[in-house]
Amino acid sequence: MIWNRWHERRDGAAQERAHTVTQPTSPADEQRNLDHDWVVAAEVHVDAKIAKHANLRGSFRTAEGQRIMALETYCAACRRPFDDVADEPCAALINNEHLRGGPIGERAKRKKYEPVGMIIAGEPINRFGVEAIAYARIKR
């Protein structure tokens, strides 16, 4: 058996697996699962050593039996609170309309800010040659 750089066998087994035909699915399998993926935003009290490790690695382990305070329960896909959408299908699995702010004609318009001050053009600066060196010395 010979292995190439992608750790696949060269004897054709990988090619056979790639060309296998999957069986057609039944209508029950074609229905999408629109359940929410619930997550809990939590508050965990840790010591300085674990806090440093969590900041560096992005994760940490807790002690067994440690009480964790739940701040909020929401769906990871559609980002909506449990109380608001517990009985509804997940909007993110249907489409992403809930993230777009609704129909275009009904969306809130962006605020237009007035400029705070005026920009006044100064004299052109020569950045090349002897004049540039002289200009830089004058401005110091």
Cα–Cα separations (whole angstroms), residue 86 to 57, 69, 90, 101, 124 = 33, 21, 9, 21, 64
State the DSSP H helix or E strand holding residue 71, giving kind and residue range, or none if neither.
Answer: strand 69-75
Q: Using an 8 Å Cβ cutoff, are 82 and 76 in contact?
A: no
Q: Using an 8 Å Cβ cutoff, are 37 and 75 in contact?
A: yes
106: DSSP letter: G
CA 70 to chain centre: 22
- Measure the N-to-C terminal CA separation of the chain; round to a whole number of Å: 73
Per-residue pLDDT of the chain (140 residues; tens, 9 = 90+): 454 454 544 545 545 554 454 555 555 544 567 888 899 999 988 899 999 999 999 988 888 888 889 999 999 888 889 999 889 888 888 877 777 776 778 878 888 888 888 888 887 777 777 777 776 777 66
Query: How far apart are the C-alpha atoms of 96 and 89, rounded to whole Å?
Result: 13
Global pTM reads 0.46
